[in-house]
Amino acid sequence: MTLEHYTREELDYILDTATKFEEIAAGREKSKLLDGKILATLFYEPSTRTKNSHEAAMLRLGGGVIGFDNTASTSIEKGESFEDTIKTFGLYSDVIVIRHPEMGTAQRAADITDVPVINGGDGANQHPTQGLLDLYTMRKAKGSIDGLEIALVGDVKHTRTYHSLTYGLSRYDCKIHFVAPDPLQLLPEIEKDIMKRGVEFDKVSQLTKVIEKVDVVYISRLQEERFPNREDAKKFRGAYTLNPEWLKDAKEDMIIMHHLPRLWEIPKEIDDTPHAHYFQQEYNGMVVRCGLLSLVLGMI
Ligand code: CP
């Protein structure tokens, strides 16, 4: 359910497996590897990429897809319990991807059904498949994650992607700069964990302090929906917008990542620079999910 407990060997194995699906994900090679298998996507929260890249991956591999992205069109609307919904989809499918606003829901689902459950994001907790595709993106762009300096910029506290990615990066020999205003900095429990693992990191408030030396700038949106009081989020709006001027100080081959959707963090003019890597990143999500679905279904 989280990348926290994965070893480096396990992470490398998943990334190596995903690499084998590049041609299939692109549609240049046909595959029937998951012919007859059914994926259920149960999205209690909105999604563009996580839901559709899992579904596209399943379709590329010859499988089928069922599920929902709006509980209003299901019997949840009539009061059906979470347990009964999960049991039902466990009967109709071979693997489930679930996204839910509450922490720990993917684990709850996995305790209810016998089919494998993939966490597509549980509240402000974790987003492990995004963490995997982020590792994949860095490795593919840079050849290795070892030796990289990576800035994680924005709402470090609430961004579940950063939680998962930080645990993933903690298995590699890289340096992480957490760039956020104090109230949105790294969660103490994650900081304690990565300190125990000997991860090299620092916490800074301005990207300009590290932009010259980093290989990756990963910026994300303010997670306003995760604030207990949404009004409190307003004062951080616009705190981190990537100024195209700053790129003059960046390494020539520095890449910019974003899990998307973006709001104001990356001005559109940056899309045409060689630094922009976020569309490649979201494409990689489909490649990685081809690998993951094949692994969890025991087909590879
Ligand atoms: N990256 C990501 O989780 O995007 P969606 O919210 O569109 O799934």
In tens, the pLDDT along 108-127 reads: 999 999 999 999 999 999 99
In tens, the pLDDT along 27-36 reads: 999 999 999 9
- Output the pTM of the full model: 0.97
- Angle of helix 105-112 relative to helix 82-92, nearest 10 degrees? 60
**Rounded Cα distance, 223 and 240, in Å:** 12
Which residue's alpha carbon is at the smallest distance from atom 1 of ligand 1?
A: 259
In tens, the pLDDT along 36-58 reads: 999 999 999 999 999 999 999 99
Buried b (16+ CB within 10 A) or exposed e, 92-105: ebbbbbbbbeeeeb
Q: Is 5 exposed, middle or buried (0-12, 13-18, 19+ CB in 10 A)?
A: exposed
Average predicted confidence (pLDDT) for the chain: 97
The catalytic residue among 78, 196, 197, 248 is 78
Copy the structure tokens of residue 153: 């910029």
In tens, the pLDDT along 137-150 reads: 999 999 999 999 99
Q: What is the DSSP letter of 67?
A: E
**Rounded Cα distance, 194 and 253, in Å:** 27
- Confirm whether 160 is a catalytic residue: no
Q: What is the DSSP letter of 223?
A: -
The sheet with strand 95-100 has its strands ordered as 64-68, 38-43, 95-100, 117-122
273 contacts: CB under 8 Å, gap ≥ 6: 244, 247
**Rounded Cα distance, 149 and 167, in Å:** 15
Q: Average pLDDT, stretch 253-264?
A: 97
**Rounded Cα distance, 56 and 295, in Å:** 16
Whether ligand 1 lies within 6 angstroms of the CB of 159 is answered as no
Do the Cβ atoms of 93 and 40 come closer than 8 Å? Answer: yes
Which residue's alpha carbon is at the smallest distance from atom 7 of ligand 1?
A: 48
What confidence score (pLDDT) does residue 240 get? 83
Whether ligand 1 lies within 6 angstroms of the CB of 2 is answered as no
**Rounded Cα distance, 300 and 297, in Å:** 8
**Rounded Cα distance, 90 and 106, in Å:** 13
Q: Is 74 exposed, middle or buried (0-12, 13-18, 19+ CB in 10 A)?
A: middle
- Confirm whether 78 is a catalytic residue: yes
What confidence score (pLDDT) does residue 231 get? 93
User: How remote is the CA of residue 47 from the centroid of ligand 1, in Å?
Assistant: 5
In tens, the pLDDT along 148-178 reads: 999 999 999 999 999 999 999 999 999 999 9
235 contacts: CB under 8 Å, gap ≥ 6: none
Helical spans, DSSP H, in 72-187: 82-92, 105-112, 128-142, 160-169
How far apart are the two ends of the chain, measured CA to CA in Å? 20
**Rounded Cα distance, 172 and 11, in Å:** 10
Whether ligand 1 lies within 6 angstroms of the CB of 126 is answered as no
Do the Cβ atoms of 69 and 43 come closer than 8 Å? Answer: yes
Which residue's alpha carbon is at the smallest distance from atom 3 of ligand 1?
A: 50
Copy the structure tokens of residue 60: 């590329």
What confidence score (pLDDT) does residue 1 get? 62
The catalytic residue among 37, 60, 127, 160 is 127
Whether ligand 1 lies within 6 angstroms of the CB of 50 is answered as yes
**Rounded Cα distance, 207 and 131, in Å:** 21
Copy the structure tokens of residue 184: 């949105």
The catalytic residue among 37, 60, 99, 157 is 99
User: How remote is the CA of residue 37 from the centroid of ligand 1, in Å?
Assistant: 24
Q: What is the DSSP letter of 73?
A: G
**Rounded Cα distance, 290 and 155, in Å:** 29
295 contacts: CB under 8 Å, gap ≥ 6: 14, 17
What confidence score (pLDDT) does residue 175 get? 98
- Confirm whether 203 is a catalytic residue: no
